[in-house]
């Protein structure tokens, strides 16, 4: 970079640099990082395209560019990720929420009554994006969330408090159903578990490999946790209650068989916008 840069010129240079270095969405990434440095919005960048950057702003931007090139995800650099229209704090302690996971929220909301009290369980909650969103969208729902990572539990609790649903979201540390009181029953159980096959982890993009392996590694075929969910969930569901689990492409037929073998009825699959199987669901008789 030269010594004097406007917003216009620095965005053009950075987008080109990111493109040459293989960064996804190079222009968008350049804009998001610069907006973060300037503590404004991407729209404001275009309002002020000809404003020169101050030396401190340029230095901070340069540092973020190099960190992004090294493989750090943009969301960890800015500390936030939007999910279902709300900002969630994220950092290397948690998986970054994906747009595809909003399908899991949609399916749960269809099964949760809008006005009646109900109990919802989110397993492998990570940042808490699913649990917090469900509580925010259904004011009469009490949401329990479990998470094996103590550090991720801290992030989830913080997000629940920041988004003002901390009184209705209980984040419990432990493995799947382990932290729950025996005999508890839920109207809806949802999970976005680790589902990447172990041998495929090394081939993931550099920025994805920066996310917690615990949140990615689904065992030999990626369905290790899904098997446990299918096996255990029926005993935690109210009659007529729904289990919904996010899956990866190619896992649909086997995941569907797992839920059907566990005795869940009206089981099915939902596809994402790319027409790939992304969600498996079923109901307790």
Residue 117 C-beta-side C-alpha neighbours within 13 Å: 2
- Are residues 273 and 133 located together in one domain of the fold? yes
Spatial separation of the C-alpha atoms in residues 109 and 134, rounded to whole Å: 7
Q: Do residues 79 and 91 touch, judged by C-beta distance below 8 A?
A: yes
Q: Do residues 245 and 272 touch, judged by C-beta distance below 8 A?
A: no
Per the DSSP assignment, residues forming a β-bridge with 270 are 279
Overall number of domains in the chain? 2
Residue at 2 is within a domain? no
- Crossing angle of helices 7-20/55-69, nearest 10°? 10
DSSP 190-238: EE----B-GGGGGGS-HHHHTS-GGGTB--SSS-HHHHHHHHHGGGGEE
Residue at 86 is within a domain? no
Residue 263 φ then ψ, to 5°: 95, 5
Domain boundary among 20, 38, 70: 70
Contacts of 276 (CB under 8 A, 6+ apart): 249
- Are residues 118 and 245 located together in one domain of the fold? yes
Residue at 104 is within a domain? yes
Residue at 83 is within a domain? no
Residue 196: domain span:
92-283
- Are residues 109 and 228 located together in one domain of the fold? yes
Q: Which of 127, 142, 256 is nearest to 192 (CA)?
A: 127
- Are residues 52 and 119 located together in one domain of the fold? no
Q: Do residues 37 and 30 touch, judged by C-beta distance below 8 A?
A: no
Residue 158 φ then ψ, to 5°: -65, -40
- Are residues 110 and 59 located together in one domain of the fold? no
pLDDT score of 1: 53
Q: What is the three-class DSSP state of 242?
A: strand
Residue at 77 is within a domain? no
- Are residues 145 and 248 located together in one domain of the fold? yes
> Residue 24: enclosing H or E segment and its boundaries?
none
- Are residues 274 and 239 located together in one domain of the fold? yes
Residue at 250 is within a domain? yes
- Are residues 119 and 57 located together in one domain of the fold? no
Residue at 150 is within a domain? yes
- Are residues 40 and 99 located together in one domain of the fold? no
Give the tens place of pLDDT for each residue, 188-224.
999 999 999 999 999 999 899 999 999 999 999 999 9
- Are residues 123 and 213 located together in one domain of the fold? yes
pLDDT score of 3: 65
Spatial separation of the C-alpha atoms in residues 250 and 253, rounded to whole Å: 8
Check residue 116 and report its DSSP letter.
S
Largest CA distance in the chain: 68
- Are residues 64 and 111 located together in one domain of the fold? no
pLDDT score of 4: 81
Residues of the chain with pLDDT under 50: none
> Residue 125: enclosing H or E segment and its boundaries?
none
Residue at 17 is within a domain? yes
- Are residues 125 and 258 located together in one domain of the fold? yes
**What is the CATH number for 173?**
3.40.50.150
Check residue 52 and report its DSSP letter.
B
Spatial separation of the C-alpha atoms in residues 57 and 259, rounded to whole Å: 53
What are the b/e assignments for 84-102, b being 16+ CB within 10 Å? beeebbbbebbbbbeebbb
Residue with tokens 């397993």: 123
């Amino acid at each position: 970079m030269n010594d004097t840069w406007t917003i216009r010129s620095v965005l053009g240079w950075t987008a080109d640099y990111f493109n040459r270095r293989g960064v996804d969405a190079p222009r968008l990434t350049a804009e998001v990082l610069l907006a973060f440095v300037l503590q404004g919005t991407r729209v404001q960048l275009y309002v002020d395209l000809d404003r020169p950057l101050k030396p401190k702003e340029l230095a901070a931007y340069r540092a973020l560019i190099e960190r992004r090139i090294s493989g750090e995800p943009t969301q960890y650099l800015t500390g936030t990720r939007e999910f279902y229209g709300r900002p969630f704090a994220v950092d290397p302690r948690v998986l970054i929420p994906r747009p595809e996971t909003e399908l899991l929220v949609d399916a749960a909301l269809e099964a949760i009554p809008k006005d009646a009290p109900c109990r919802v369980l989110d397993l492998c909650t990570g940042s808490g994006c699913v649990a917090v969103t469900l509580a925010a969208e259904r004011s009469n729902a009490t949401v329990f969330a479990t998470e094996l990572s103590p550090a991720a539990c801290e992030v989830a609790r913080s997000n629940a408090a920041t988004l003002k649903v901390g009184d209705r979201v209980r984040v419990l540390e432990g493995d799947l159903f382990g932290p729950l009181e025996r005999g508890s029953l839920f109207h809806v159980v949802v999970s976005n578990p680790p589902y990447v096959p172990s041998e495929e982890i090394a081939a993931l993009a550099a920025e994805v490999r920066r996310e917690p392996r615990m949140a990615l590694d689904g065992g030999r075929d990626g369905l290790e946790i899904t098997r446990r969910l299918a096996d255990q969930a029926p005993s935690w569901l109210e009659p007529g209650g729904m289990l919904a689990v996010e899956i990866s492409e190619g896992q649909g037929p086997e995941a569907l068989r797992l839920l059907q073998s566990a005795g869940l009825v009206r089981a099915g699959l939902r596809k994402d916008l790319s027409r790939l199987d992304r969600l498996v669901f079923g109901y307790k008789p």
